[in-house]
Amino acid sequence: MIMKSFYVCRFAAALKDLPVWVFNVVNVDSADTLPIIFERGLFGIYHDWCESFSTYPRTYDLLHADHLFSNLKNRCKLVPVIAEVDRILRPGGHMVVRDELSVIDEVENLLKSLNWEVTSKTSKNTEGVLSAKKGYWRPDS
């Protein structure tokens, strides 16, 4: 799932020949690229990430968020958004986040609190990329 589909869904277009299903989410407060997504034969939907996403739990294998969280911080808290990410991503699934360094650090701390494994973190100037894997943990009984 591409959590903030813009720039005419280049990420999804790059995957079109692979045996994968890519779902593009156009944020309600961003440019309307959904018609272009549909013209390319791709799947998409409008959504506000400050609200719950209507899907079954553990549906997605990979989430990609490009500057999504810094945009959301102006409108809502990140804790419920990260909780929603944790709900919709299957155990063993991955998330790739590209955002401002301060936001990357906050997302990293939230994911670690949910027992995710941060597999990679890089930065350049004021921007960073974080890759994380959702674990299979269960609370102690």
pLDDT in tens, 9-23: 667 777 778 888 888
- Over residues 118-122, the mean pLDDT reads 93
Mean residue pLDDT of the chain comes to: 90
Domains of the chain, first to last: 1-47 (no CATH), 66-141 (3.40.50.150)
Question: Of all helices (H) and strands (E), which one includes residue 86?
Answer: helix 78-88
Q: Which tokens hold the place of 39?
A: 């013209």
Q: Is the Cβ–Cβ distance between 91 and 60 less than 8 Å?
A: no
Angle, vertex CA 35, rays to CA 33 and CA 36, nearest 5:
65
Percent of the chain with pLDDT over 70: 97
Q: Give residue 139's pLDDT.
A: 75
Closest CA to 89 of 64, 123, 126: 64
Q: Give residue 119's pLDDT.
A: 93
Q: Is the pLDDT of residue 79 over 60?
A: yes
Least confident piece of the model among 14-23, 61-70, 98-107: 14-23
Percent of the chain with pLDDT over 90: 66
Q: Give residue 9's pLDDT.
A: 60
Distances, alpha carbon 4 to alpha carbons 11, 32, 62, 100, in Å: 11, 11, 13, 15
Q: Give residue 62's pLDDT.
A: 94
Q: Is the Cβ–Cβ distance between 111 and 131 less than 8 Å?
A: no
pLDDT band of residue 8 (cuts 50, 70, 90) is: low
